[in-house]
Structure 1
Amino acid sequence: MTNRRNFLTGAGALTTAACAAAVSRVAMAALPEPILQTKPDTMPPLVPSTGRPYNPVVTLNGWTLPWRMNNGVKEFHLVAEPVVREMSPGFKAHLWGYNGQSPGPTIEVVEGDRVRIFVTNKLTEHTSVHWHGQRLPNGMDGVSGLTQPAIPAGKTFVYEFVARRPGTFMYHPHADEMTQMAMGMMGFWITHPKARHPLIDEVNRDFVFLLNAYDIDPGAYTPKIMTMLDFNLWSWNSRVFPGIDPLVVRKNDKVRIRIGNLTMTNHPMHLHGHEFLVTGTDGGPTPKSTRWPEVTTDVAVGQMRQIEFLADEEGDWAFHCHKSHHTMNAMGHDVPTMIGVDHRKVVRDITNVIPDYMVMGERGMADMGEMEMPLPDNTAPMMTGAGPFGSVEMGGMFSMVKVRKDQKPGDYKDPGWYKHPAGEVAYEWTGALPNPARFAAEGGKSMPVQNMPAKEVEVQVRKPMGNMKH
């Protein structure tokens, strides 16, 4: 207990062991340098150069926060501040975040690490940081007014605790939470196991991203913070498709994806072409007896889900939220359904006065993905993803897992579009089919049936006789 007590009271940073305390001007000179990132690109994994070794994660359209070692303590510096986040090419939002970005940088530590996080508040109001899912002293939990005084504007507080268990966690304010989280203040925290763990397998690629949502009027820059349900921008790490990077993997890689949800609704996350196991939650790794194959898993509000799969099928596989409205951008919620309505006479009359008038939605919404209709400045088109065969007709929470046999280990560069082998693309039928042949794409059973009887068994069902009250 001596080391733990010295850790919580040492370094001259805390006035008490149970409360995050303000740092004086003299102590400010000893702070770790705040590292900033202004690009929304997916940065390479940060391989640890100090401290315990671990296999680093890749933050989708994000990055990992560097640290320094100080007398055996891993020190980080978070800066809460207004940021400009490019949500897709040409579309930017004025958000609040950390260290130049929203979401903030991922923090990676190892089980058993003694951690010190300096938090500088450059917002116009007070804030705090809650370490979502962590086991720590109550006074470090980050709930302003309950476990600590709020961090005033212009001040720096420090949080200190031991990373007690491995897993995937989040961080976000617990001060004016409705405003600050709606403005984009959130981030990921990964605690790696310090040794081989019976419930945590080693993987080749380990991706993380947060689900978030905003309500930004077309042509505007700042989210509306009072929105409870009618969000119009559904995003991964504050990026909307086609601005979301693909998850690039090598064929036969073991892949882990960690997904955290800090929106106001649940998201059924769906992967094409593969089955996965849910191997972890924000409570920690799941017992192996509770895992079963899925292609969709629901991530509820405030939850994290960790999925793992073997990437053994080449291709560009869609990966998205299965709520169809969540794969679109800049949606209007009060647009009437015009499918089947004949506008021709009305259009003729209107175009006499407004030559550029166009009709939308009389055949469905797909036409809008290909229209080059005028939009207000700084507006993300509803669905503009362009694939090798035309419009993908998606936006929002959508990307791809790109599996390639010739992708080098550790290479995350986009390999471009998948080149399909001959005969493996759906095609238009124009006449007689060729002679039946074994499909080139046909494979074996992905999950062989076990414990079946050697001979087929025919089941006979008899209807009950008499007054059985069925």
Structure 2
Amino acid sequence: MVSRRDLFRSAGAITAAASAAAVSRVAMAALPEPVLQTKPDTMAPLLPQTGRPYNPVVTLNGWTLPWRMNQGVKEFHLVAEPVVRELAPGMKAHLWGYNGQSPGPTIEVVEGDRVRVFVTNKLPEHTSIHWHGQRLPNGMDGVAGLNQKSIQPGKTFVYEFVARRPGTFMYHPHADEMTQMAMGMMGFWVTHPKTNHPLIEAVDRDFCFLLNAFDIDPGAATPKIMTMTNFNLWCWNSRVFPGIDTLNVRKNDKVRIRIGNLTMTNHPIHLHGHEFLVTGTDGGPTPKGTRWYEVTTDVAVGQMRQIEFLADEEGDWAFHCHKSHHTMNAMGHDVPTMIGVDHRSVAKKITKLVPDYMVMGERGMADMGEMEMPLPDNTLPMMTGQGPFGGVEMGGMFSIVKVRKNQKAGDYSDPGWYQHPKGEVAFEWSGALPEPARFAAEGGQSMPRKTPAPPSEVNVRKPTGHSGH
């Protein structure tokens, strides 16, 4: 552990701390030292120094949990605890997570590894961990009350099983799920293949992140756990744009991105400038005969998707959820549509009474991206972000894949904005505009509409007697 700890310290990344409140000193002597991380930065890949070799992943705005080898067993230590997570500069949330962060650290193992995970509970209530998608003994599946007793506050439990198949997985509680997952308790798990696999190709860069969401009132810091649909902060690894790091790659790198969805809705994830293949799900690698090129893939609730593409187009390429409200921050759902309404006269009267009053939505919502309206403490603008050409007008689930020909292998640093070659940027036309040619007929219905017959006239005669019956 000394060399690995020194590696992280040299990067300014990790602080190790003993969980003294959880277990006694005698018990701690038998446990792996819990390693904590509080920074929301994307950490460099953790190169394996013990155990089987593998090509490590990079967790977007996250990190990989170190381990120790103990008589051939790979041992980890997770600490479930309250954490403070910066969602983006200017806003922090009071969440629950693991080892100082939400989501917790990524766990990386190799197919065939015997894995032992110590879980210490520093939450105010009981918990458990379910190893989402793993093949393991039933008593290690982590459903509190069904497969095991709950882990009570201050207690440490041990999970042990063999990582039987390679793939992309998650971990999360299966105790008071509504509260604990809404508060941010989740993490990524990657099992690498131990040998060359016919369906898993080697890649140059391997990223992973989880989709999660919170409902936090502007000015507040704790999520509302009873929310079912109207979330206002759509996150990648508990970060929102502009706080989501960019994915920095070298031109012609083969790139893999692993995505897990633990929100309450599906997310169509869209990449600009490239096509990709869906090469894996939570069920394992996909057969090659089922793969076709996409630019958007839908990730449903509880699912994992693994996409791969060749980064052969240089530039700064948007990468985001294609649900338009999922690329906004802390938006209100009850704002009326005011497009086309002239507020000028009434706004003058209101500002005499309310100096900070601002008109919203008169010309659309793009003004929200650059407005200087006072915001409550600890909240974010609905749309924000400054690019090289002006406001980006985004939030939530949005980032950028930066492809550069001079990015070095293994270098994940941000190369800055793309310098476009001359003549390759859209520009304003300043010449005369021709009169548009218009069709004489604007089209119509596909077939004539059937004209209904005029209604029949009905004469009603009131009987005058009973004769003739």
Match of 2:384 in 1: 384
Distance 2:199 2:284 in 1: 9
Q: Is 1:296 aligned with 2:293? A: no
Please list the CA deviations of residues 59-84 of structure 1 after superposition, one character each: whole Å capped at 9, or x if unmatched. Answer: 00000000000000000000000000
Mapping 1:1-400, distance limit 5 Å: 26-400=26-400
Distance 2:116 2:385 in 1: 42
Counterpart residue identity of residue 254, structure 2: K
1:213 aligns to what SS in structure 2? strand
Q: State TM-score, norm by structure 2.
A: 0.87
Match of 1:423 in 2: 423
Match of 1:413 in 2: 413
Distance 2:140 2:354 in 1: 62
1:430 aligns to what SS in structure 2? coil
Distance 1:289 1:325 in 2: 35
Distance 1:380 1:341 in 2: 26
Checking the alignment, whether the CA contact within 8 Å between 2:384 and 2:391 is kept in structure 1 is: yes
In the TM superposition, what is the alpha-carbon distance from 1:24 to its structure 2 partner? 7.9
Checking the alignment, whether the CA contact within 8 Å between 2:281 and 2:303 is kept in structure 1 is: yes
1:212 aligns to what SS in structure 2? strand
Counterpart residue identity of residue 309, structure 1: F
Counterpart residue identity of residue 50, structure 1: T
1:368 aligns to what SS in structure 2? helix
Distance 2:174 2:208 in 1: 22
Distance 1:154 1:432 in 2: 75
Distance 2:328 2:116 in 1: 40
Distance 2:193 2:310 in 1: 21
Checking the alignment, whether the CA contact within 8 Å between 2:356 and 2:374 is kept in structure 1 is: no
Structure 2: runs of 5+ lacking an equivalent? 1-21, 434-469
Distance 2:45 2:98 in 1: 19
Counterpart residue identity of residue 246, structure 2: P
In the TM superposition, what is the alpha-carbon distance from 1:351 to its structure 2 partner? 1.9
Match of 1:10 in 2: none
In the TM superposition, what is the alpha-carbon distance from 1:349 to its structure 2 partner? 1.3
Counterpart residue identity of residue 165, structure 2: R
Distance 2:24 2:197 in 1: 41
2:349 aligns to what SS in structure 1? helix
Checking the alignment, whether the CA contact within 8 Å between 2:23 and 2:154 is kept in structure 1 is: no
Checking the alignment, whether the CA contact within 8 Å between 1:23 and 1:158 is kept in structure 2 is: no
In the TM superposition, what is the alpha-carbon distance from 1:432 to its structure 2 partner? 6.8
Counterpart residue identity of residue 311, structure 2: A
Distance 1:70 1:118 in 2: 13
1:277 aligns to what SS in structure 2? strand
Counterpart residue identity of residue 71, structure 1: Q
In the TM superposition, what is the alpha-carbon distance from 1:172 to its structure 2 partner? 0.0
1:223 aligns to what SS in structure 2? coil
Distance 1:182 1:122 in 2: 17
Please list the CA deviations of residues 228-262 of structure 1 after superposition, one character each: whole Å capped at 9, or x if unmatched. Answer: 00000000000000000000000000000000000
Describe the shift of the 1:352–1:26 C-alpha distance in structure 2 as closer, same or farther (beyond 3 A).
Answer: closer
Distance 2:190 2:82 in 1: 24
Checking the alignment, whether the CA contact within 8 Å between 2:203 and 2:256 is kept in structure 1 is: yes
Please list the CA deviations of residues 403-446 of structure 1 after superposition, one character each: whole Å capped at 9, or x if unmatched. Answer: 0000000000000000000000000011179xxxxxxxxxxxxx
In the TM superposition, what is the alpha-carbon distance from 1:27 to its structure 2 partner? 3.3
In the TM superposition, what is the alpha-carbon distance from 1:23 to its structure 2 partner? 8.2
Distance 1:23 1:183 in 2: 24
2:294 aligns to what SS in structure 1? coil
Match of 1:439 in 2: none
In the TM superposition, what is the alpha-carbon distance from 1:380 to its structure 2 partner? 1.4
Counterpart residue identity of residue 69, structure 1: M
In the TM superposition, what is the alpha-carbon distance from 1:119 to its structure 2 partner? 0.0
| CA RMSD, Structure 1 to Structure 2 (Å) | 1.2
Q: Higher Cα Rg: structure 1 or 2?
A: 2
Distance 1:334 1:79 in 2: 39
Checking the alignment, whether the CA contact within 8 Å between 2:356 and 2:373 is kept in structure 1 is: no
1:350 aligns to what SS in structure 2? helix
1:347 aligns to what SS in structure 2? helix
Identity %: 87
